[in-house]
Structure 1
Amino acid sequence: MNNLQRYILLLCLISLTLGCDSDYLEKKPQKSLLVPTTLSDMQAMLDNSRELMNVSPYLNIISDGEFRMLDAGLNGQARAVQNAYVWSSEESATMADWDIPYKQVFYANVVLDGLAKLSHQDSQEEFNRIRADALFFRGLAFFNLVQLFCAPYQQASAEQQLGIPLPVSSDVNLKMPRASLKASYEQVLKDLLEAAPLLENKPLYLTRPSKAAARALLARVYLLMGNYTQALQYAENALELQNALIDYNSVPTQSAISFPLPLNTVNPEVLFYVRANTSFLNNASVFVDSALYNSYAENDLRKKILFTSALKYKGSYVGTANPFQGLSTNELYLIKAECLARADETDLAMNTLDVLLQNRWVSGSYKPLKANNPDHALEIVIYERRKELVARGLWWQDLRRLATDSRFNFKLERTSMGVVHQLAAGDDRYVYKIPLDELAGNPLMQNP
């Protein structure tokens, strides 16, 4: 991580100059911005939401097959986007999807190291909250990295599989090797489990983590680890704090953007705000996959609320062209339903799914779902996950984790420049290559 962290060090100075509030900049000279000495300094670093802390990777949205791009549009995209679109194994010189999460880790580590040097007796509550925020952001960044640059988690092989470098200090002179996949997930869980009890039930701003958000993220992590008992527990615990759903009958279907900016207008489903680092879906050459579009029933309002009749996406909970990749209650209902199905609780799984879907269909038209057995229930839940959580990068995670399940054998296919490209379940290309600029400064073992 040596060269990358030096690069981050420079960017941190620039970002803090642009991103922090004016009071902070007035109080601290530029040279000391990287050595925060007060709780307000540290809060300002974590509140750099627009430029960094609430920004997520995006190549998974390009790769997961939910959207297609015309050749003319693809020609104008960056090389990393072109590679992700056709599932190329070519190595990229640089990748924002690697750099941004590690910048977030660096910021979090600067705050955590600074807190360790503070006397916090007079402001214990604020100290604990800021520490919990930093742990949450670091855990989320590590989690996003393993979804892109590591193999899917399998308990039997996780100790032998390569994970990611895990810097837990802001010391830029440390050169970090790749930890095991098991150790990488353990660090994610450690950060989130330590943060959760210290977080507020509801944050002052949606760009700050909350107890509900931490529980929701833990549910997602455990789901991807195949620990369905824990995933169910944390999904239910998060829903105890916030379980509201939007009745889509109240959402205008003719609007250019279906949902308002949640930072200005309350979106009751949003637990934590994150936007993907791209406006790819707003490109005039990008359209929803026709098979996905046609999978919605006529009375399913998601078809008109998530997409235009011209197959353009308009349903981001960000309220702009950027995809939403945060945490929300609708995902929790789906996690809960899936875990119940896997626990052979067929009726409970369907009942949970019904709570969500009756808020998605035209009033009076929805009929409760019926499943013949747990396998059938699970199939229905996975099918609804794809239709509900569009453009969140979660379908890429689902494709990865379901690859070894004989009940699901998804194969992606798309044609670009007259060439048919395919991605079979379990293919090595479900793991992105580490960018070359990182390998130049830190000779990590490259992915296959």
Structure 2
Amino acid sequence: MKKIKFIISLFIIALLFVVQSCSEDFLVEYPTDKQAPEDIQKMADVEVVINGTYNLMQSVGFLNSNIITRNDMRSDDMQVPDFGRLEDEYRYDFDEQNSVLSIWSTPYTIIRQANNVIAMLEGINVESPTDKAKKDDMTGQSLTIRALAHFSLCNSYGLPYAHNDGQSLGIPIVTEVLPKDAQVKRSTVAQVYDQIIKDLTTAIPLLSEAPKGGKINSWAAKTLLARVYLYKEDNTKAYETAVDVIKKSPYVLLKRSEYVDAWSKEFNSESIFSCVNNAADNGGGNSIAYLSDPEGYGQFIASQDLIDLVNSDPDDIRNEILYIDQLSVIGDPTTYGRILKYPGIGNTKAIIVDHFEGDGEPKPELASSATTSNVPIFRLSELYLIAAEAAVKGGGSDAATYLNAIVERANPAAKVAEADVTLDRVLTERRKELMAEGHRFFDLIRNKRDIVRTECARTAHMTARMHIPYDDYQVVFAIPLEELKINPLTQNPGY
């Protein structure tokens, strides 16, 4: 009974971490009232804790919003209307006083949980091959989760690796269960990348190759590794890792005819790893889905510049997921550039259009709330574009082949000639294919491209910055003041 109570407590603690007081140090030792993690003896006990880790990842502080919305909003892809959420990121109105704490604290809470799972597993002896494979797989999942959280943190608070070969300050690296009073200083970006790559290369042979959808397998870890290598400008390894997944994994690109409605399904043929949501368990009102929905907050909307880019090819299938709907707000019609990647499970494009434009009142009900949408974290399309970009930069061959797999899926008549496959052309395709998935901001600054926004009448820009140099001090967030009070870290320059 004592152990059962402890396991239940662990799970409850995992859920409560999401909303715990911002005054608590992210390095605080995992709270255990009765037993240490090494006292857990059964694999089933650890499964409860790792499921709690995925629940933490599902929070809006990580996969269900922050990792996407607060980055895309700083790019040229997304805008806010004249009210509401995400304004600070869009306007670049943030400093150490008002930086969003969860961008910092939630990934570190996840890291702490992953470290505890690893420690628990180290204390369990297994005999059967089945149990050993299960233990290895959970270890590999935890290492990959830890790597993803460190990567997100380093992208948020450290300059891109290419800016100065990784020598700028990154973030504290945490790879073990720490004592309550521990204060870990910032490592360089290069050191953080080394740790991330070490975790992933250790995890991959431990992980199952079987598709899991909502949990990490070896292909998900390899996708993250390919992305890390690309951001590091290790183009040969980025290319090789991406091509390995493309050629050997069980995933296949969506067909053109499947593309639009695939986003209304739980998983599809190219879903490698997604943040799972459903009617009973989702990110709620601050999730990316609710922020995209005009009947929710309607704050995460496509910029006119992005809309014009996709519309420049009328036969591009991705026009069909740009839905320019109308919603009356306090008597005034407001236009929303909704990207239908988060429509809610079962809400096909036809259902969405009928709901907003169908005749008669009341309008037909949607199949489900937008908040039930799964959030794609790793999908096969990205790997084709990683291979293309890495090849253009000299890391491999057949850049045109990998680029055209995405281009021709969107429009079979739009094949790019080999001579026209440039870095800018690849970045343009990444912009169109990966829109609203959290990539555009990093694609620009890591390739030393300024963020240039276009004025339009669709939103009130207020004090939004329209031109942000790639080396501007605000391309990294300020470490929140709440954290500096606990752990006196060196603040990012300019704040």
Contact 1:412 1:424 (8 Å CA) reproduced: no
> How far has the Cα of 1:42 moved from its partner?
1.7
Query: In the superposition, relative to structure 1, how do residues 326 and 345 fare at CA in structure 2: closer, same or farther (>3 Å)?
Result: closer
Give the structure 1 partner of residue 108 of structure 2.
102
Secondary structure of 1:272's partner?
strand
Query: In the superposition, relative to structure 1, how do residues 172 and 206 fare at CA in structure 2: closer, same or farther (>3 Å)?
Result: farther
Q: Distance in 1 between matches of 2:189 and 2:160?
A: 9
> How far has the Cα of 1:306 moved from its partner?
4.3
The answer to whether 1:311 aligns with 2:310 is no
Q: Distance in 2 between matches of 1:132 and 1:110?
A: 13
Q: For the aligned residues, what is the CA RMSD? A: 2.9
The answer to whether 1:189 aligns with 2:213 is no
- Counterparts of residues 198-217 of structure 1 (less than 5 Å): 198-203=206-211, 205-217=212-224
Contact 1:163 1:178 (8 Å CA) reproduced: yes
The answer to whether 1:378 aligns with 2:423 is yes
Query: In the superposition, relative to structure 1, how do residues 420 and 381 fare at CA in structure 2: closer, same or farther (>3 Å)?
Result: same
Contact 2:76 2:306 (8 Å CA) reproduced: no
Q: Distance in 2 between matches of 1:261 and 1:18?
A: 30
Query: In the superposition, relative to structure 1, how do residues 367 and 38 fare at CA in structure 2: closer, same or farther (>3 Å)?
Result: same
The answer to whether 1:221 aligns with 2:228 is yes
Query: In the superposition, relative to structure 1, how do residues 238 and 381 fare at CA in structure 2: closer, same or farther (>3 Å)?
Result: same
Q: Over residues 293-346 of structure 1, what are the superposed CA-to-partner deviations in whole Å (9 max), with x where a residue is unaligned? A: 121210101011243455212124985456835111000011111112222877
Which letter does structure 2 place at the counterpart of 1:107?
Q
Query: In the superposition, relative to structure 1, how do residues 387 and 417 fare at CA in structure 2: closer, same or farther (>3 Å)?
Result: closer
Q: Distance in 2 between matches of 1:206 and 1:351?
A: 27
Give the structure 2 partner of residue 343 of structure 1.
394
Give the structure 1 partner of residue 87 of structure 2.
82
Q: Distance in 2 between matches of 1:147 and 1:49?
A: 21
Q: Distance in 2 between matches of 1:441 and 1:343?
A: 45
Query: In the superposition, relative to structure 1, how do residues 96 and 358 fare at CA in structure 2: closer, same or farther (>3 Å)?
Result: same
**Structure 2 residue ranges without an equivalent (≥5):** 1-8, 19-31, 277-282, 326-335, 346-369
Give the structure 2 partner of residue 24 of structure 1.
none
The answer to whether 1:368 aligns with 2:394 is no
TM-score after normalising by structure 1: 0.82
Tell which deviates more after alignment, 419-428 or 97-106.
419-428
Secondary structure of 1:135's partner?
helix
Which letter does structure 2 place at the counterpart of 1:215?
K
Query: In the superposition, relative to structure 1, how do residues 260 and 285 fare at CA in structure 2: closer, same or farther (>3 Å)?
Result: closer
Which letter does structure 1 place at the counterpart of 2:400?
M
Give the structure 1 partner of residue 264 of structure 2.
260
Give the structure 2 partner of residue 47 of structure 1.
51
Which letter does structure 2 place at the counterpart of 1:142?
H
> How far has the Cα of 1:53 moved from its partner?
2.7
Q: Distance in 1 between matches of 2:184 and 2:45?
A: 27
Moved over 6 A (4+): none
Give the structure 2 partner of residue 292 of structure 1.
306
Contact 2:14 2:49 (8 Å CA) reproduced: no
Tell which deviates more after alignment, 150-159 or 431-440.
150-159
Q: Distance in 1 between matches of 2:450 and 2:17?
A: 47
Q: Distance in 2 between matches of 1:308 and 1:162?
A: 41
Which letter does structure 2 place at the counterpart of 1:270?
S
Query: In the superposition, relative to structure 1, how do residues 413 and 427 fare at CA in structure 2: closer, same or farther (>3 Å)?
Result: farther
Give the structure 2 partner of residue 232 of structure 1.
239
Q: Distance in 2 between matches of 1:196 and 1:437?
A: 36
> How far has the Cα of 1:136 moved from its partner?
0.7
Residue identity over aligned pairs, in percent, reads 24
> How far has the Cα of 1:252 moved from its partner?
5.2
Contact 2:389 2:423 (8 Å CA) reproduced: yes
Q: Distance in 2 between matches of 1:189 and 1:344?
A: 18
Which letter does structure 2 place at the counterpart of 1:289?
S
Tell which deviates more after alignment, 135-144 or 111-120.
111-120
Secondary structure of 2:73's partner?
helix
TM-score after normalising by structure 2: 0.74
> How far has the Cα of 1:292 moved from its partner?
0.8
Aligned counterpart in structure 1 of residue 384 of structure 2, from 312, 319, 333:
333
Query: In the superposition, relative to structure 1, how do residues 317 and 145 fare at CA in structure 2: closer, same or farther (>3 Å)?
Result: farther
> How far has the Cα of 1:213 moved from its partner?
0.9
Q: Distance in 2 between matches of 1:187 and 1:318?
A: 36
**Structure 1 residue ranges without an equivalent (≥5):** 1-9, 20-29
Which letter does structure 1 place at the counterpart of 2:13?
I
Q: Distance in 1 between matches of 2:207 and 2:250?
A: 14
The answer to whether 1:430 aligns with 2:441 is no
The count of aligned residue pairs is 404
- Counterparts of residues 104-253 of structure 1 (less than 5 Å): 104-122=110-128, 123-154=131-162, 156-159=164-167, 161-173=168-180, 174-203=182-211, 205-239=212-246, 240-251=248-259
Tell which deviates more after alignment, 300-309 or 330-339.
300-309
Q: Distance in 1 between matches of 2:184 and 2:464?
A: 39
Which letter does structure 2 place at the counterpart of 1:381?
V
Secondary structure of 1:154's partner?
helix
> How far has the Cα of 1:387 moved from its partner?
0.4
